[in-house]
Amino acid sequence: MKRVATVPDLRSAVASFREKGQRVAFVPTMGALHAGHLALVEQARRVAGKVVVSIFVNPKQFGPGEDFDRYPRDLEADAEKLREAGADLLFAPAVDVMYPPGFATTVHVAGVSEGMEGARRPGHFDGVATVVARLLGLVLPDVAVFGQKDAQQCAVVMRLVKDLGLPVEVLVAPTVRESDGLAMSSRNAYLSPEERKAAPALFRALLATQLVHEIGERKAEKLLAAFRTAISAEPRLELDSVDLVDAATMRPVEKVDRPVLLAAAVRVGRTRLIDNVVFGG
State the catalytic residues. 37
Residues whose CB falls within 8 Å of the CB of residue 161, separated by 6 or more in sequence, listed in order: 136, 168, 170
Helices 124-139 and 7-19: crossing angle in degrees, nearest 10, is 50
Q: Are 264 and 232 in contact (CB under 8 A)?
A: no
Helix (H, G, I), strand (E, B) or coil at 173: strand
Distance, CA of 191 to CA of 258 (rounded, Å): 36
- Edge-to-edge strand ranges of the sheet holding 143-147: 2-4, 89-91, 50-55, 24-29, 143-147, 169-173
Distance, CA of 270 to CA of 281 (rounded, Å): 36
The amino acid occupying position 221 is E
The distance from CA 228 to its chain's CA centroid, rounded to whole angstroms, is 24
Distance, CA of 70 to CA of 274 (rounded, Å): 18
For 19-95, where are the E strands, in sequence order?
A: 24-29, 50-55, 89-91
Distance, CA of 255 to CA of 8 (rounded, Å): 51
Where on the phi/psi map is residue 32: left (φ > 0), alpha (ψ -120 to 50), or beta? left
